[in-house]
């Protein structure tokens, strides 16, 4: 029987805590759940909800402590064993996570799909072979497991088993024909195999699909740039150019430096749109400059300054040059001139 505390029972405190958590007042809710378990250490629902709430708050260690108390009451609770496995995974304690996940499967064979998480843990341990075995078990348990097929494709790709990687990506596409990431990764495998025809077929399929994922267009842009198809690269960039993060744009700028600016292929309108879209998030540029300075990437800064020379905020430009000088770099102008000469040489 629950003990009284200030005239209330553990169940009363549990209900108050539960309602607060439903209102997303997590810290307040946890205070009342703690009161509940102090009065009734066997209050299963309170311990379970404490664990789930701590996971939401990304406090994995406290979540594990809560579920350990659940397992003292119900040692064969497969769901809680699974949740503990995920908490350990979040803490990057992959071996401990797999112990919990395997125990959950042992307690409930219907949870064999958890091999997906076991596979992810093996990747964390850099054991690709065991990861593939676990992914295979996951898709045996759940043949339409999209993520398992997709990440198994990634794992085969990392091992250089390209035909198996393509097979897995295609299985993912069978499940979800509009899965742009799978088409993109098949294209990258075909590029590795030097099968340009198949690669471009995949690229064209993605463009036809018109996916909303910004990073897909960013990667397509980079692929076309490195292949020398700067016009298509620019088209991909402008699809969601204003949403691509500045960090990625620096890499795109590096690729753009290698194309014949400004006379050939990329006309002045495209160049103007590129610079205009790029100038919208200046706060990100400041952070990028700081990172480039910190890493001593002088040549990249030179490229970046040149590409945005007309549009670059003077305040930012001045700050960059001052910070470079403070770090003992006295060849800023020389670096800029070197970059300019290189581009002009490619252009003419």
Mind giving me the DSSP string for 151-162?
A: HHHHHHHHTT-H
Residue 106 has pLDDT above 60, yes or no: yes
CA angle 244, 248, 251 (to 5 degrees): 135
Residue 113 DSSP code: G
What pLDDT band is residue 328 in, cutting at 50, 70 and 90? Answer: low
User: What would you report as the CA-atom Rg of the chain, rounded to the nearest whole angstrom?
Assistant: 27
All structural domains of the chain with their residue ranges: 143-211
What pLDDT band is residue 233 in, cutting at 50, 70 and 90? Answer: confident
- CA distances 9 to 4, 28, 131, Å, are 5, 17, 48
Percent of the chain residues past pLDDT 90, beyond the cut:
56
Residue 243 has pLDDT above 90, yes or no: no
The tens digit of pLDDT for each residue in 267-276 reads 444 444 444 4
Q: How many helices (H) and strands (E) does the chain have?
A: 20, 0
131: nearest Cα among 110, 162, 106, 155? 155
Which two tokens mark 185?
């990764």
What pLDDT band is residue 239 in, cutting at 50, 70 and 90? Answer: low
Higher pLDDT, 287 or 105: 105
Taking the domain 143-211, which CATH number applies? 1.25.40.10
The reported pLDDT for the residue numbered 23 is 94
Give mean pLDDT, residues 173-195: 93
Partners of 8 in the beta sheet? 5
Give the 3-state secondary structure of residue 239.
helix
pTM: predicted TM-score of the whole model, two decimal places: 0.67
The reported pLDDT for the residue numbered 37 is 95
Residue 150 has pLDDT above 60, yes or no: yes
CA angle 2, 5, 10 (to 5 degrees): 40
Give mean pLDDT, residues 97-119: 96
User: Which of 162-176, 273-287, 318-332 holds the top average pLDDT?
Assistant: 162-176
């Amino acid at each position: 029987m629950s003990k009284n505390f200030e005239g209330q029972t553990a169940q009363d405190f549990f209900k108050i805590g539960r309602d607060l958590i439903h209102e997303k007042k997590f810290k307040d809710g946890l205070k009342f759940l703690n009161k509940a378990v102090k009065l009734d250490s066997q209050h299963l629902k309170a311990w379970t909800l404490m664990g789930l709430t701590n996971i939401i708050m990304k406090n994995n260690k406290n979540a594990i402590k809560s579920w350990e108390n659940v397992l003292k009451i119900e040692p064969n609770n497969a769901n809680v064993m699974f949740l503990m496995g995920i908490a350990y995974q979040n803490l990057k304690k992959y071996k401990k996570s797999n112990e919990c996940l395997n125990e959950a499967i042992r307690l409930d064979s219907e949870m064999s799909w958890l091999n997906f998480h076991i596979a992810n843990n093996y990747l964390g341990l850099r054991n690709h072979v065991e990861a593939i075995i676990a992914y295979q078990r996951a898709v045996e348990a759940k043949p339409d497991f999209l993520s398992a097929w997709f990440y198994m494709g990634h794992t085969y790709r990392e091992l250089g088993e390209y035909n198996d990687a393509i097979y897995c990506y295609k299985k993912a596409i069978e499940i979800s024909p509009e899965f742009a990431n799978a088409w993109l990764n098949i294209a990258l495998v075909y590029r590795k195999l030097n099968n340009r025809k198949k690669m471009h077929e995949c690229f064209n399929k993605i463009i036809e699909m018109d996916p909303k994922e910004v990073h897909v267009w960013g990667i397509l842009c980079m692929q076309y740039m490195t292949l020398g198809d700067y016009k298509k690269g620019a088209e991909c960039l402008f699809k969601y150019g204003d949403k691509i993060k500045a960090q990625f744009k620096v890499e795109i700028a590096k690729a753009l430096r290698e194309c014949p600016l400004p006379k050939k292929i990329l006309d002045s309108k495209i160049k103007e749109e590129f610079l205009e879209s790029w100038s919208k998030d200046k706060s990100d540029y400041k952070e990028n400059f700081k990172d480039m300075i910190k890493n001593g990437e002088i040549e990249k800064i030179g490229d970046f300054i040149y590409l945005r020379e007309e549009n670059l905020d003077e305040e930012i430009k001045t700050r960059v040059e001052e910070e470079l000088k403070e770090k003992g770099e006295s060849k800023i102008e020389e670096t800029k001139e070197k970059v300019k000469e290189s581009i002009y040489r490619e252009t003419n």
